[in-house]
Structure formats: structure tokens, C-alpha cells
Amino acid sequence: MSDSMPPFPSEEIACQPKDPLDHEVCLCFHVSIRKMQNFIQREQPTRASQLSQCLDAGTGCRWCVPFLCKMHRQWESGEAIELPVSPEEYAQRRAAYKRAGVKNDPLVEPPPIAVSP
């Protein structure tokens, strides 16, 4: 190896997407916000649970399910589809969830429960 070669950038810096839409909402299956937006626009899902058809999002550790439900509600109401936290905080919260097995994140309200008439 030559001394004139520049050092490799750290993995942390090299792996961070530049466009916020490329941040992952489902970390298990690497589903980005952009992929989810495109899926929603193309498929027009009537239920949040249908978002799992986008590369199995939400079917791994299930931590992102409340966020997927929120994204579906954002789409239904015509809002921009986005995550309410930075990608770094999102990943840290998921890591804490996986360590502790906590099933609810206070940042996202739980999905509404369907009630039969």
C-alpha cells in the first residue's frame, strides 16, 4: 500500500445517505423513506398494514410498525411522508428497543384499533 493513498473515510461517514429520503425507515430490511413513498404513490394502500408489502417493511423486529402507520396517516392526510427524528436518533432508539425489548416508542402514537360496527 502506498503512503500517497488517502485514508479511507470512516464507515459512519461513508454510509450516511446525503438525501433525507434515502434514510431507512425499516432498518431490518433496509427500506428507505424514498422506497416507501414510491410504494405508497404506486400502490395507494388503503390500510397501513399493506406497507409490509414494500420489501417486507415492518416484519422483522417490528419496531418500525408505529412509524409506518404514521407514514400511512401522513399520506392519507396529504402531508409529507417523513420521520419525526434524525436518522441517528432513529437508529439509537431502535438499538435500545432491541436491547430492552420495549414495544412502544413514546414518539409515535400507537396505531388506531379498528372497531367493528
pLDDT of residue 78: 96
- How does pLDDT run across 61-91, given as a tens digit for each residue? 999 999 999 999 999 999 999 888 899 999 9
Q: In the beta sheet, which residues pair with residue 24?
A: 32
Percent of the chain with pLDDT over 70: 72
CA distances from 1 to 4, 10, 14, 116 (A): 9, 18, 21, 68
Residue 62 C-alpha cell reads as 417490528
* Residue 95, CA distances (Å) to 47, 57, 60, 99 in order: 27, 17, 13, 6
Residue-range domain boundaries for the chain:
21-100
